[in-house]
A and B are shown apart, each in its own frame.
Chain A
Amino acid sequence: SQQGEEDPQALSIQEGENATMNCSYKTSINNLQWYRQNSGRGLVHLILIRSNEREKHSGRLRVTLDTSKKSSSLLITASRAADTASYFCATDEKGAQKLVFGQGTRLTINP
């Protein structure tokens, strides 16, 4: 079973706009990670944010974490057609090594 939920399930925007995806989870975590997946194959690691961090940046990506609300958001600024993909958040519960994924957000960037 999957722990989290992602919102929205699908998002379609114009190139150059910002895209925001949200993730909620249920248990206490060590960290939260965001991954990108193209065409249903391998996942590409984007960013990891630890439970004691509130915000993290990497290039055009900004991730926030609110452990009191058990939620995270991923912001992609100045979107490009190449950002079209599915985006997943994944948490590792305290005391466990496995990742628990949400169902993902399918992002489409229209040129």
Chain B
Amino acid sequence: GAGVSQTPSNKVTEKGKYVELRCDPISGHTALYWYRQSLGQGPEFLIYFQGTGAADDSGLPNDRFFAVRPEGSVSTLKIQRTERGDSAVYLCASSAQGDTQYFGPGTRLTVL
């Protein structure tokens, strides 16, 4: 079946703008995760959804970052007033049983 998909694959924006990143998880997966990866580093956890609710948002760096999953499937990561330091690859993953997390190809965000 289809894997995790993320759109757009690349996003270039200007400092101060608002961006939305989309994740389509594997069908039937109840758990969805967002991570951020800076160049040369491993991914860092941002937020975890179980169903529609955010079960753990301890990784969100500040209140400019927000994520939703209104119907328990597709999720959108929203970043307000983007800063150059937000530039990174944003990865989404989903899992069925809370064990193996399957990752999408990521969205490369560049803030100019």
Interface residues of A (CB under 8 A from B): 1-2, 31, 33, 35, 40-45, 48, 88, 90, 96-104
Contact = CB atoms under 8 A, between A and B. Distances in A.
Interface string B84-109: 00000101010000111111111000
Interface of B: 4, 31, 33, 35, 37, 39-45, 48, 50, 55-56, 59, 89, 91, 93, 98-106
A31 B99 contact: yes
A45 B100 contact: yes
B44 A48 contact: no
Given A98-B45, A99-B45, A43 B103 contact: yes
B44 A101 contact: yes
B42 A88 contact: yes
Contact of B106 (A42, A45, A101, A103): A42
Contacts of B105: 41-42
B39 to A, nearest CB: 7
B99 A98 contact: no
Given A97-B56, A98-B33, A41 B106 contact: yes
